[in-house]
Structure formats: structure tokens, C-alpha cells
Amino acid sequence: MYFLLLFLSARSSIAQSDINVVCDGVVFNGQYYDKQLLFKDFGRSYNLVMHEATGQLFFSHAVNNDTYSFRKIKSCDIHNKTCNAVMGINGGNAIFYDQQNNELYFGGYDGVYKYNFMTNKAEILHEKGMPIWDLFINNKKIYFITYKGKNLYVYKDNSFDKVQEVADVQVENFFITKHSKLYFSNDTGLYMVENHHIPFDPAILIKNNVTVRQITEDIYGNAYFCAKDGIYIDDLVSGSIKQLAHIDDLSSIVLIPTGVYSNNIIYSDKDAIYSLSPSRYGYYCYNSTQSDQKEN
Ligand SMILES: *[C@@H]1O[C@H](CO)[C@@H](O)[C@H](O)[C@H]1NC(C)=O
Ligand SMILES: *[C@@H]1O[C@H](CO)[C@@H](O)[C@H](O)[C@H]1NC(C)=O
Ligand SMILES: *[C@@H]1O[C@H](CO)[C@@H](O)[C@H](O)[C@H]1NC(C)=O
Ligand SMILES: *[C@@H]1O[C@H](CO)[C@@H](O)[C@H](O)[C@H]1NC(C)=O
Ligand SMILES: *[C@@H]1O[C@H](CO)[C@@H](O)[C@H](O)[C@H]1NC(C)=O
């Protein structure tokens, strides 16, 4: 950790005083961000979703402190910091917010649930579901990955169909961007399909040997990947991925474009949930965190 003493000039309103600046934030995409603890004591948390209209942060967290054991879904109010379990759902690994339709979905042990914002309860969508690992909604089509086997299905007209392009492969994470780019990851690597509307557009391996924990996008439709050592972006120049931030044991991120927390990033690691906000000491701390990394 780097410690810096800043002496404010006489022109400053807090003249004659000095401020201790601790540079323990995070450099993201070449810019230094202050880091603040938001929530802890929930074990490792996954699949962060920020619902800006109500100020609620939804996430899935491990009960029993064990990565693959039982998980539950919580919602925490970002302003007053109170947290509540989302009721009505058995288990709870997956969360997806369909921004276009302002609908929030969960994946539990019995299938897909939809959140009722009036009652704050999850309601199951269909009769016989299966345990769900991950969930994604695109144009009202619900895609989900089964807990066992990690197969990708699409739910339509009350039936479940395997997605043909990846019918016989394992899928850990799945995402379609605003620009119809499809990304998925499995134990082999991270793959991209340039346009998922084009039948048989091949899946291109963009990085092997990478553990992806979440795929998301910014408002421009750029894809971001959470790996266990930080945040990556699809680098169109190199055809691979580029690291934007180094964070140990990263689980999940959410990029906040607008509102009170605009330009913030919320992320979770194995212990807690933090927010990153653009720092007024960015100019000073950027250099010190860079030299810290060189020393290591
Ligand atoms: C996880 O373990 C830590 C340390 O033993 C404990 O403080 C924390 O409350 C545990 N979390 C859960 C969700 O059990
Ligand atoms: C926190 O805000 C939520 C609304 O998001 C409200 O339901 C709850 O009562 C508030 N809790 C406290 C302690 O103010
Ligand atoms: C991951 O997906 C690729 C592309 O479809 C496939 O070739 C590979 O076998 C898959 N890996 C696993 C472990 O299923
Ligand atoms: C994958 O990455 C790990 C850790 O970075 C490394 O030890 C291992 O040799 C890599 N495997 C391959 C096949 O590149
Ligand atoms: C940061 O590093 C750059 C390049 O090494 C240097 O020009 C600049 O003066 C440094 N800024 C501070 C505040 O140390």
C-alpha cells in the first residue's frame, strides 16, 4: 500500500491543513478509482444486478461459505444498506435484469422465477423446471444453463429446447450483447459468435485457459469479462481479451452508467461487495499503484 501526504496550497479553502490520502483503490482502464466497502458477511457473492429505479442491489451468495453449495438471493438497499432475502425461491444461483422490459428473473433449483416488485417475492414461471446455473434474456427469450451438465436451453412457448449451436458442449457463462454478438465460456475457454442471428456463424475461440465468472456489457454494447484475477474486455484489435483491472478473486461486476452512482463500478470478491468511484486523487494515486505493481 502506498501512502501519500498532500499539502493543500494556500489558495485552497482548507488552507494550512493536510490530508492523508491512502491509495488503496483500483486502477480500471487506466484510471484510478476509490474503493469503498458496501456489504460483507454474506460469503462469496455472484451475479450482481443493480436495479437503479429502486436502488436495490441483487446478488446470489453462498450459504455455508462453500463455493458450490447452496446459494440464496439477497437484495440490499444501496442507500440505507439494509439487506433482505428474496422470498419465494428455492435456492438461487442466477439473476438477470431485462432492462428493456424492467423485469427481473432468477434461476433456482426448481427453474426460472420472475420478481414481483410489488410484493418483493419471486414467482415461478412454469410447472416443472430444472436446477438452473445461469440465466439470460434476449428479446423476451429466456436462455438458461442447467446446473447439471451445464447445457444451454431456450425456453419458449412452454417448452425447453437445447440451443443447437452448442447442443453437445458444456456452457458455463452465456451472453448476447446489444450488437447481437454472442459470447460463451466453458472449461476450454472463452468463445465468440460474431452475429447470433446468422445461422451456423462459427464460434471463435478468443482465449483459452481462462476462468470466466461473469459476462456483461456497458451501455455501448462492449463486452466485459470477470475472471478470477480481474476485469477483461474483448479487444477487437488483438482478437483476444485485454485486462482492464487487476482484482484478486473477482466474482462479479456491475457497471453503472447513470443516476446517483453514475460511472461507478460495483464488484464482489470472495469476502465482500465494493464500489469503485472516480477518484479526486486519481492523478497522484495512479502513479503509486503502478509503481506498487512493479515492485511486486
Ligand atoms: C463465512 O465465514 C466467515 C469466517 O469464518 C464468517 O465470518 C462469515 O459469517 C461466513 N459467512 C457465511 C455466509 O456463513
Ligand atoms: C431501506 O429502504 C427500503 C426501500 O428500498 C425500505 O423498504 C426499508 O424500510 C429501509 N430501511 C430502513 C432501515 O430505513
Ligand atoms: C467448449 O466449447 C467449445 C466450442 O463449442 C467446444 O469445442 C469445447 O469442446 C467445449 N468444452 C467443453 C469442456 O465442453
Ligand atoms: C493455464 O494457466 C495456468 C495459470 O496461469 C498455467 O499454470 C497453465 O500452465 C496454463 N495452461 C495452459 C494449457 O496454457
Ligand atoms: C506520474 O508519472 C508520470 C510519468 O512517469 C509523470 O510524468 C508524472 O509527473 C507523475 N505524476 C505524479 C503526481 O507523480
CA of 80 to the centre of ligand 2 (A): 6
Nearest CA to ligand 5 atom 9: 287
The grid coordinates of residue 38 equal 458496501
Q: DSSP string covering 168-213, please?
A: TS--SEEEE-TT--EEEE-SSEEEEES-TTSTTPPPEEEEES--EE
Q: How far apart are CA 169 and CA 166, in angstroms?
A: 5
CB of 80 closer than 6 angstroms to any ligand 2 atom = yes
* Ligand 2 lined by 77 (C-beta under 6 Å): yes
Q: Report the range of poorest mean pLDDT among 68-72, 75-79, 144-148, 223-227.
A: 68-72
DSSP character for 87? B
Residue 3 has pLDDT above 60, yes or no: no
In the reported structure, the alpha carbon of residue 66 is separated from the centroid of ligand 1 by a whole-number distance in angstroms of 10
Is 11 exposed, middle or buried (CB count within 10 Å of its CB: 0-12, 13-18, 19+)?
Answer: exposed
CA neighbor of 211 nearest in space, from 242, 180, 193, 185: 185
Q: Cα(148) to centroid of ligand 4, in Å?
A: 26
What mean pLDDT comes out for the span 37-47?
Answer: 92
> Which of the ligands is closest to the CA of residue 79?
2
Which of 163, 173, 183, 186 has most ligand 3 atoms within 8 Å of CB, for mutation? 186
97-132 tens-digit pLDDT: 999 999 999 999 999 999 999 999 999 988 777 899
- CB of residue 124 inside a 6 A radius of ligand 3: no
Cell of 53: 429505479
> If we measure between CA atoms, which residue out of 227, 222, 221 comes closest to residue 207?
227
The model's confidence at residue 30, banded by pLDDT at 50, 70 and 90, is: very high
Beta partners for residue 193, in sequence order? 182
> Mutation test of ligand 2: which of 52, 74, 80 has the most ligand atoms closer than 8 Å to its C-beta?
80
| HSE (side-chain half, CA atoms, 13 Å) at 284 | 16
Give 229's pLDDT tier (boundaries 50, 70, 90). very high
Cα–Cα distance measured from residue 241 to residue 224, given in angstroms and rounded to the nearest whole number: 9
- CA-based Rg of the chain, rounded to a whole angstrom? 20
Give tens-digit pLDDT for 78-91: 999 999 999 999 99
Question: What integer pLDDT is reported at residue 293 of this predicted model?
Answer: 57
Mean pLDDT, rounded, for 52-78: 85
Grid coordinates standing for 295?
515492485
